[in-house]
Amino acid sequence: MAEALTAALLQRGLTVDHAASLDEAEAYMAAVDHAAILLDLGLPDGDGLAWLRRRRASGETRPVLALTARGSVEARVRGLHDGADDYIVKPFDADELHARLLAVLRRQGGYLGVSLTCARLTFDVETRTVRVGETVLTLSTRETELLELLLRRAGNVVPKRVVEDQLFGAGGDQGSKNAVEVYVHRLRKRLDEAGTGARIDTVRGVGYLLRNAA
Amino acid sequence: MAEALTAALLQRGLTVDHAASLDEAEAYMAAVDHAAILLDLGLPDGDGLAWLRRRRASGETRPVLALTARGSVEARVRGLHDGADDYIVKPFDADELHARLLAVLRRQGGYLGVSLTCARLTFDVETRTVRVGETVLTLSTRETELLELLLRRAGNVVPKRVVEDQLFGAGGDQGSKNAVEVYVHRLRKRLDEAGTGARIDTVRGVGYLLRNAA
DNA sequence: GGCCGGCTTACATGTACCTGACGATTGCTG
DNA sequence: CAGCAATCGTCAGGTACATGTAAGCCGGCC
């Protein structure tokens, strides 16, 4: 069931670490700043809710969604009181779990809008912020616009004309305006220095293409 | 059913305003800064989810719990996608609704004595006091408001506009208003002098971001 | 070689932001 | 009520960064 769940969430664009026990989970949680935690209350090595209570008491703030087969009202109330942000009873639908997960993340801040991604890059359309993994990457306005444009067509070539029209007015200016090339250059430099794992390829005579470097 | 629900929540120590229609609800919501909203999707005067989508689009941030008789997975997924923080199917148990409400409030930060933290900083929402480790740090009202705002979205960018709207009225005043910058400056100074280990980053053209300096 | 498209660096201008200071207001105290 | 301190919002001067243009460079292709 964990495998199926992991696959379902990966397919929906999330990154997942899977722990088979509470001990293993603690190891993961110490190492990675996860956005949220799915807690199966049927784990073999101890009471999941007691564990959750302890973690909350010692300052754990990450959202926790409890998964369980025990569907009684009392169980649900207890789970929520013990610090769960949502309580989902098996069997559940992957779409609903995904939706509830997004709702919690949205509330927690960050995942407000749709986010575009490529390699380790994520772009939050709502706040117009770029992240490399967890850390925020600050770009100038123009650089952000360019990156968004490329991200929306990630893996596909974006004609140079389109970039010009989108970044600067559609006004067909003349002369030696190589602004696009300059910004592509600046963006490349930033993506590279930040180790994003994303890269911009040039398609001569046509335009540019954002893709995963690996 | 609304009466029974109101009574049940009052009995559990919460304060409730009851609106019989979306129009009435808007009137209440404009006047009072509610901690959360229970939205019955079966209201006579219009589609509750469409209304929710519109409110979210125009900046409504209060948590919303959707109540409905339609229990299909698709309906639940749509409700959560449209901006609901939880989706509860009738008939439901008052205890569970209460527990889910508390879970959402807890997550939203404050309202329940849970304190917000970042680095060595802690903020008790109940008493509106700021601490650095054990010692209390006294800030002015505006500084406290700003810190709370940043703390609620710690690690995420808070757009400058949001700060303006939250600190001063949403009334779009004009003129040379760099008040936000001034308060950010003052707060930075205080956080720095007190050795909080927290720091405010500037994201040019977007807003500010509170994070652990280390 | 000479042309063409793209790359790279440099630079002048504008804009966003920072920061110290000032008058106005508020609240407290003698 | 006068006097004082803290806080508030505004402003002016300074700084750092973003922007768009230009000029020199590189590599492919006829």
Distance from CA of A205 to the nearest CA of B (A): 33
In chain B, the largest separation of any two C-alpha atoms, in whole Å, equals: 57
CA dihedral A32, A36, A37, A38 (to 10 degrees): -140
Per-window interface: A 42-61 vs B, CB < 8 A: 59, 61
pLDDT band at A4 (very low <50, low <70, confident <90, very high): confident
On strand D, nucleotides with any atom < 7 Å from a protein CB are 6-12, 17-23
The partner residue sitting opposite A127, judged by closest CB among B100, B117, B206, is: B206
Residue whose token pair is 């409400």: B101
The predicted pLDDT at position A11 comes to 74
Single out the residue of A87, A52, A95, A47 nearest to residue A68, CA to CA: A87
Whether the Cβ atoms of residue B70 and residue B41 lie closer than 8 Å to each other: yes
User: Phi and psi at residue B87, in whole multiples of 5°?
Assistant: -135, 110
Q: Lowest-confidence range among B38-52, B100-114, B190-204?
A: B100-114
Which residues of chain A neighbour B80 with C-beta distances below 8 Å? 96, 99-100, 102-103
A138 beta carbon to strand D: under 7 Å: yes
Which of B203, B204, B212 to mutate to probe the A interface, most A CBs <10 Å? B203
Per-residue model confidence as pLDDT tens digits over B80-112 = 888 899 999 888 888 899 999 988 887 776 545
Single out the residue of A38, A30, A45, A106 nearest to residue A68, CA to CA: A38
Residues in chain B, total: 214
Q: Which residue has the higher pLDDT, B157 or A12?
A: B157
User: Phi and psi at residue B102, in whole multiples of 5°?
Assistant: -65, -40
DSSP annotation of B41 = T
- Helices A2-11/A94-108 angle, 10° precision: 60
Per-window interface: A 88-127 vs B, CB < 8 A: 93, 95-96, 98-100, 102-104, 106-110, 127
Whether the Cβ atoms of residue A10 and residue A16 lie closer than 8 Å to each other: yes
Does pLDDT of B69 surpass 50?
yes
Task: Read off the pLDDT of each residue in A32-49 and give the average, rounded to a whole number.
Answer: 82
**Which conformational region is residue A133 in: left (phi greater than 0), alpha (psi within -120 to 50 degrees), or beta?**
left
Per-residue model confidence as pLDDT tens digits over B126-177 = 788 899 988 899 999 999 999 999 998 888 888 998 899 888 876 556 656 8
Does pLDDT of B184 surpass 60?
yes
Q: Which nucleotide is nearest to B180 (CA to C1')?
A: D9
Does pLDDT of A193 surpass 60?
yes
The predicted pLDDT at position A138 comes to 92
pLDDT band at A57 (very low <50, low <70, confident <90, very high): confident
Single out the residue of B22, B16, B94, B11 nearest to residue B51, CA to CA: B22
Which residues of chain A neighbour B68 with C-beta distances below 8 Å? none
pLDDT band at B10 (very low <50, low <70, confident <90, very high): confident
Task: Read off the pLDDT of each residue in A139-156 and give the average, rounded to a whole number.
Answer: 93
Which of A74, A108, A145 to mutate to probe the B interface, most B CBs <10 Å? A108
Token pair in block for residue A52:
């959750």
CA–centroid distance for B183 within its chain: 21
Q: Give one DSSP letter per residue of A72-121, joined into a string.
A: -HHHHHHHHHTT-SEEEESS--HHHHHHHHHHHHHHHSS--S-EEEETTE
A136 touching chain B per CB within 8 A:
yes
CA distance A159 to A143: 17
The partner residue sitting opposite B157, judged by closest CB among A63, A87, A136, is: A136
Distance from CA of B190 to the nearest CA of A (A): 24
Q: Share the mean pLDDT of chain A.
A: 85
CA distance A38 to A84: 10
CB-side neighbour CA atoms (13 Å) of B28? 15
Distance from CA of B160 to the nearest CA of A (A): 10
Residue whose token pair is 């409730």: B16
Residues 122-141 of B with CB under 7 A from strand D: 138-141
Predicted structure pTM score: 0.68
Residues 144-173 of B with CB under 7 A from strand D: 167-168, 173
CA distance A21 to A33: 18
B131 touching chain A per CB within 8 A:
no
Whether the Cβ atoms of residue A57 and residue A83 lie closer than 8 Å to each other: no
Single out the residue of B196, B200, B198 nearest to residue B135, CA to CA: B196
CB-side neighbour CA atoms (13 Å) of A195? 3
Residues in chain A, total: 214
User: Phi and psi at residue A65, in whole multiples of 5°?
Assistant: -110, 120
User: Phi and psi at residue B31, in whole multiples of 5°?
Assistant: -90, -35
Residues ≥6 apart with Cβ < 8 Å to A160: A180, A206, A207, A208
Token pair in block for residue B137:
């740090």
